[in-house]
Amino acid sequence: MSQTIKRKAKGVRRSAAAQGARQKVDRAKATSNSALDAAMRWLPFTEEQLHRFFLALILGAAAALAWTVASLAGVPELANAEISRVAANAGFEVRRVEVRGVKRMNELKVYERVLGERERAMPQVDLAALRNELLQLSWVEDARVSRQLPDTLVVDIVERKPHAVLRKPGRLVLIDAKGNELEPVSTARAKGMLVISGPGAGKQAEGLSNLLENAPALGPRVREAEWMGNRRWNLTFETGQVLALPQGERASANALVSFARLDGVNRMLGGRVAIFDMRAPDRIYLRVPGHAAEEASRTAAEKAAAAAAKQARQEEKD
């Protein structure tokens, strides 16, 4: 005979307690959801966009971790080496170098730096590093290095322009308008060029160029410029005459312009005056070779004549 055993039903108190707990949970969820909804309403993006952001952040972190692990294992280097090998086998390898823009400098100095890239796969050529090497050459003002696929490196050079010759102890050096030293030159090669001298003169070359621009008619006639005492210029013209300028950029420019006007009216250059001294702000001193001796001789003659006349008058009285 079978017998059915029934489970004892929950007590009234237990049922009431369970129901109360469920109500508290529901109220807490409702409160949390309402607070989260309120916060989401203040944010400038939707909940879906927020989920996408966190997903992208997680994927990015995973990718960074994977790249770090691969780097430690040498995978990127192996990949680059394999790419370079494939490129070289396909003919993308440096076999020719073309240099453009070289007129005055020694072109071999450019090839010395670029030919090291011969037989290197094109992807392995560091164009920026090669350009920086070329900029170390004294004649190179700017450079551009580019690939001409499949097998040529093209080097475009912008040369510095020679402007003057800097006289240094025991040698002459060609410089550009900014004072950058280009290369040593011989006396024969320096003939006809502006020669700059004096301690620190090379650093003042650009200032000298600006100064001479104030007198376009006189500038081409200046053969030498000596930087005196690290403060002012003495200019020597093609006639051998010297113009001593005052110190100061504005004062020297004004003096040079004034001298240009005087020369235009009175033809100062080519005369007997050896030195035009314009260091004083309101006057010009002229120095004539032998003038002092002439003055002394003239004064002595005048004194002798006066003495003779005095003696003659004395004899007449006697």
Residues whose CB falls within 8 Å of the CB of residue 94, separated by 6 or more in sequence, listed in order: 117, 118, 119, 120, 121, 122, 125, 151, 152, 153
Whether the ω angle into residue 281 lies within 30 degrees of 0, i.e. cis, is no
**Residue 219: inside a domain:** yes
Q: Give the domain extent around 123.
A: 92-159
Q: Domain boundary at 135, 159, 183, which? A: 159
Beta strands in 130-216 (DSSP E): 140-148, 152-159, 162-168, 171-176, 181-185, 195-197
For the domain that residue 110 is a member of, what is the CATH number?
3.10.20.310
**Residue 314: inside a domain:** no
Mean pLDDT of the chain: 78
Asked whether residue 149 falls in the same domain as residue 167, the answer is no
Q: Domain boundary at 107, 126, 159, which? A: 159
Q: What is the DSSP letter of 203?
A: G
**Residue 123: inside a domain:** yes
* Cα separation, 46 vs 52, whole angstroms: 10
Residue 272 identity (one-letter amino acid): R
Asked whether residue 256 falls in the same domain as residue 174, the answer is yes
pLDDT at 34 over 60: no
Residue 280 identity (one-letter amino acid): A
pLDDT tens digits, 232-268: 999 999 999 999 999 999 999 999 999 999 999 988 8
Asked whether residue 181 falls in the same domain as residue 283, the answer is yes
**Residue 11: inside a domain:** no
pLDDT at 82 over 70: no
pLDDT tens digits, 194-219: 999 999 999 999 999 999 999 999 99
For the domain that residue 169 is a member of, what is the CATH number?
3.40.50.11690
Asked whether residue 250 falls in the same domain as residue 143, the answer is no
* Cα separation, 288 vs 276, whole angstroms: 9
User: Per DSSP, what are the bridge partners of residue 174?
Assistant: 165, 183
Q: In this predicted structure, what is the pLDDT of residue 4?
A: 47
| Pairwise pLDDT comparison (297 vs 272), residue with the higher score | 272
Q: In this predicted structure, what is the pLDDT of residue 88?
A: 46
Asked whether residue 155 falls in the same domain as residue 166, the answer is no
Mean pLDDT of 68-73: 60
Asked whether residue 224 falls in the same domain as residue 155, the answer is no
User: In a 3-state reduction of DSSP, which class is residue 202?
Assistant: helix
* Cα separation, 225 vs 212, whole angstroms: 11
pLDDT band at 310 (very low <50, low <70, confident <90, very high): low
* Cα separation, 302 vs 296, whole angstroms: 10
The pTM for the full model equals: 0.61
Asked whether residue 224 falls in the same domain as residue 208, the answer is yes
Asked whether residue 182 falls in the same domain as residue 262, the answer is yes
Q: In this predicted structure, what is the pLDDT of residue 314?
A: 67
Asked whether residue 177 falls in the same domain as residue 283, the answer is yes
Distance of CA 207 to the CA centre of its chain: 17
Asked whether residue 177 falls in the same domain as residue 254, the answer is yes
| Pairwise pLDDT comparison (256 vs 93), residue with the higher score | 256
**Residue 4: inside a domain:** no
**Residue 177: inside a domain:** yes
> Which parts of 6-46 fold into alpha helices (H)?
12-42
Domain total in the chain? 2
| φ and ψ of 133, to 5 deg | -65, -40
| Pairwise pLDDT comparison (204 vs 282), residue with the higher score | 204
Mean pLDDT of 80-104: 68
* Cα separation, 222 vs 225, whole angstroms: 7
Shortest CA distance to 122 belongs to which of 144, 149, 97?
Answer: 149
Asked whether residue 151 falls in the same domain as residue 178, the answer is no
Percent of the chain with pLDDT over 70: 61
Mean pLDDT of 37-57: 60
| The residue count for the chain | 318
Sort residue 186 into left (φ over 0), alpha (ψ -120 to 50) or beta.
Answer: beta
Q: In this predicted structure, what is the pLDDT of residue 149?
A: 80
pLDDT tens digits, 16-29: 555 656 665 555 55
**Residue 266: inside a domain:** yes
Residue 193 identity (one-letter amino acid): M
Percent of the chain with pLDDT over 90: 48
Q: Torsion angle, CA of 131/134/136/138, rounded to 10 degrees? A: -140
Q: What is the DSSP letter of 160?
A: P
Asked whether residue 262 falls in the same domain as residue 173, the answer is yes
pLDDT tens digits, 135-184: 999 999 999 999 888 888 899 999 999 999 999 999 999 999 999 999 99
pLDDT at 13 over 50: yes
